[in-house]
């Protein structure tokens, strides 16, 4: 429908459905799937990038068969993937290597892969974390808690008595997303 305006020109009224679609498209452009933000877990010097707002949790675990320590985890889900950053203070740097080894094995067990494959070259990837003197990459194809196929890529690292894990889980892991996540990890 046309409405006369001053000067004799005609102007069309926007169609309500067209306006709604335009508004939704504009809103979608403002909310990307991967909305990267900095995470600085309290009690640690770690800096990380998370693609969504993480939730936090803590629980007691035993990594190396010794006394339990408090494990702190920050995780979020976006784009069909789960991103997690976790850390614990072993209280003594001497315990860190055994804790990292136990954590790597437990990570494989969590996706129903034989933990003995932790030392298999097929499960390793060349991982580095800026500022971490020790870092070990782990990758596996397994099954999630719902028995669905899942890929996992993780890095386990330490600094002093603190041990860390950063991991991504999902049906398919896009290299550009995992690279952004792992490249965002750093210790001073």
From first to last of its 188 residues, the chain has per-residue pLDDT tens of: 444 444 444 444 444 444 444 443 433 444 588 999 999 999 999 999 999 999 999 999 987 677 899 999 999 999 999 999 999 999 989 989 999 999 999 999 999 999 999 889 889 999 999 999 989 999 999 999 899 999 999 999 999 999 999 999 999 999 999 999 999 999 99
Fold annotation for 33-183: Protein Transport Mog1p; Chain A (3.40.1000)
Tokens representing residue 107 in the block = 């990570």
Distances (CA, A) of 2 to 8, 9, 10, 11, 149: 12, 10, 6, 6, 57
Burial classification of residue 106, based on how many CB atoms lie within 10 Å of its CB (0-12 exposed, 13-18 middle, 19 or more buried): middle
Sorted by where each begins, the domain ranges of the chain are 33-183
**3-class DSSP state for residue 31?**
coil
């Amino acid at each position: 429908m046309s409405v006369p305006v001053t000067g004799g020109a005609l102007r069309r009224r926007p169609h309500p459905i067209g306006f709604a679609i335009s508004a939704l498209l504009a809103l979608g452009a403002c909310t990307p799937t991967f909305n990267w933000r900095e995470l600085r877990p309290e009690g640690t010097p770690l800096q990380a990038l998370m693609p969504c707002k993480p939730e936090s949790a803590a629980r007691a675990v035993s990594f190396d068969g010794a006394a339990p320590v408090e494990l702190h985890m920050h995780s979020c889900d976006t784009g069909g993937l789960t991103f997690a950053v976790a850390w614990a203070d072993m209280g003594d740097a001497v315990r860190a290597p055994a804790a990292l080894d136990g954590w790597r094995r437990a990570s494989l067990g969590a996706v129903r892969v034989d933990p003995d494959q932790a030392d298999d070259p097929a499960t390793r990837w060349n991982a580095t974390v800026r500022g971490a003197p020790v870092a070990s990459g782990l990758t596996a194809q397994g099954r999630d808690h719902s028995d669905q196929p899942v890929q996992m890529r993780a890095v386990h690292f330490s600094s002093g008595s603190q041990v860390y894990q950063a991991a991504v889980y999902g049906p398919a892991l896009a290299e550009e997303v995992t690279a952004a996540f792992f490249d965002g990890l750093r210790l001073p």
